[in-house]
Structure 1
């Protein structure tokens, strides 16, 4: 029975990937800005209702922002999938995407510290969330000559994961998959003075119980722990999408070293402030608060 179930699961994953590949072929046949618009429309009109995203967005908002008027909730139910679609099109548009972010100026209180770390070879953890385009900073810094790697979580669908990793590799390498070998490779790169981009806003079963939007959320302490172990800067970074199609490349001030829980809570607070300012650009489809609602 288990063998049959595994086989059916692989067949389902293969079929899903074929559909994704067909949609990507259509999207990528268009110029850069047009492909982002088409991907946004496909996510909003087709993927969001089929994947149950509308319901989950409403549930997350009802939990952490019950004060929002219905008109604003409806807007976010519509606009969040649009942002996801644009991000996916950008991630699959390596050279065009990098060219776009490479000409955007770095801004924020942490720019000088980041430039100094680049000059001196000090390790840096560039911590972000699924806001705007989480790979904009990585691509923009690599285009400027910075040594930047990325830590990523392999997709559950192995067929999709194969071409997804190939796509984000065109933005820049090295890339490190979560897991023992990926972590070991990442540590060596970091100890050698590299910078590593880390996305922190996924619920991690072995994480610490911290606060995000006023509610308990499991959050990985590993970026803070690595920073303390290897004397690395911890810098919150964000690639915020603008209405004109460009990006604000935000480099916030480094998080002071201290105990890992305090440092990681500061990272959560930084991301929360950015999400509150750009509600439609965060991945509200995440099961970020799974420990509260076990049915998500």
Structure 2
């Protein structure tokens, strides 16, 4: 990937400007407050955010007993560990996910220029192959580790090609605009999943790279049902369908925390142009590919996954 070292202040990130902000508009207060809070947090740096994240995770652990029980039960049932070990993993998971939430304000400070100071590239050869590829690319990742920083790197990647991530929109418009601005702080285009098809296909046709979070539950009409951690799960087929339509390469990638550093793992890709069968066969093959990649990553780093999510909520029709 070609590093782009221009760091944008979060107050001027895409989407952080151009909205009502005058003293006569009461709706302008919340955006200003969010931006101010983000700037204050960002000044704490990586070590400060880690400390605050750990403290916030401990607070959530005590304040959300229902989510705590959900996480412990999911870990014990799907990893086959004792309740004691499941509780340990779950508690660490709360801390990691709180850090992920706060790391959003550091997206503009994270990038390839950090080198071994903060960022470790696990397999430089695979990163080189991505950089040299002239194909459409789909990056499949998960709510695992420091996943917000994947957007930092993608925003820097080859500025002459489209770079975007597809995410679910928050129902609160002010909060959604703030989150989109933070995620786009290094040039990444953040796309609302409800309006993604045309934008994503256009970007992929220009040999761009589009990132998707592929590990969360989805509606039945969006899903293919596949095994995940030993139980049938609803797997979102949207990213797979777009990859097949664009004949893209699919690259699983994950950002794992290692103490005060971050390790970028990149798996071997799947070239959708080489798949056999009809479109449905190909879409299922891609869904199975990135679901298995996520499962391997979760099993390797269970304490860094978002266990408090109701991953297996949507059931196949025959389970109703």
Instruction: Name the CA distance, whole Å, in 2 between partners of 1:100 and 1:37.
Output: 24
Deviation at 1:292, TM superposition (A): 5.0
Tell me, yes or no, if the aligned pair for 1:102 and 1:141 is still in contact at 8 Å: no
Q: What is the aligned partner in structure 2 of residue 212 from structure 1? A: 228
Distance 1:43 1:25 in 2: 21
Note the C-alpha offset of 1:183: 2.6
- Candidates 232, 238, 262, aligned match of 2:285: 262
Return the alpha-carbon distance in structure 1 between the equivalents of residues 132 and 122 of structure 2.
15
Q: 1:115 aligns with which of 121, 126, 131?
A: 131
Could you say which residue in structure 2 is the equivalent of 1:69? 82
* Residue 78 of structure 1, aligned match among 62, 82, 91: 91
- 1:260 to partner: Cα distance: 1.4
Kept after mapping to 2: 8 A contact 1:154/1:177 = yes
| Structure 1: runs of 5+ lacking an equivalent | 1-15
The structural deviation recorded for 1:218 is 0.6
Seen in structure 2, the aligned counterparts of structure 1 residues 70 and 23 have a Cα distance that, compared at 3 Å, is: farther
Taking the aligned partners of 2:245 and 2:283, their CA distance within structure 1 comes to 11
Displacement after TM superposition at 1:17 (Å): 10
Pair 55,101 (structure 1): closer, same or farther in 2 beyond 3 Å: farther
**Aligned partners of 1:93 and 1:160: how far apart in 2?**
17
> Structure 2: which 5+ residue stretches go unaligned?
1-29, 276-281
How far residue 78 of structure 1 moved from its aligned partner, in angstroms, is 1.4
Q: Does 1:185 align with 2:199?
A: yes
Matched-pair contact (CA < 8 Å) for 1:100–1:246: no
Q: 1:139 to 1:29 in 2, by over 3 A?
A: closer
| 1:32 paired residue number | 46
Pick the aligned partner of 2:301 from 265, 271, 278: 278
Following the alignment from structure 1 to structure 2, what is the Cα–Cα distance between the partners of residues 48 and 21? Answer: 28
CA contact (8 A) 1:101 1:139 kept: no
What's the CA shift for 1:280? 0.7
Matched, 1:223 2:246: no
Tell me the alpha carbon deviations over residues 227-275 of structure 1, each in whole angstroms, 9 at most, x when there is no partner: 22112111111111111x2111111111243321122112111111111
How large is the RMSD of aligned CA atoms in angstroms? 2.9
**Structure 1 residue 102: deviation in Å?**
6.0
SS of corresponding position for 2:170 = coil
TM-score (norm 2): 0.76
CA distance in 1, matches of 2:233, 2:168: 18
Residues 149-172 of structure 1 deviation map (CA, whole Å, 9 limit, x = unaligned): 111111233332221112111143
**Is 1:138 aligned to residue 138 of structure 2?**
no
**Partner SS state of residue 250, structure 1:** strand
Q: What is the CA distance between 1:48 and its match in structure 2?
A: 5.8
- Report the alpha carbon displacement of residue 99 of structure 1 after superposing the two structures with TM: 6.1
Alignment match, 1:203? 217
Farther-moved stretch of structure 1 (69-78 vs 202-211): 69-78
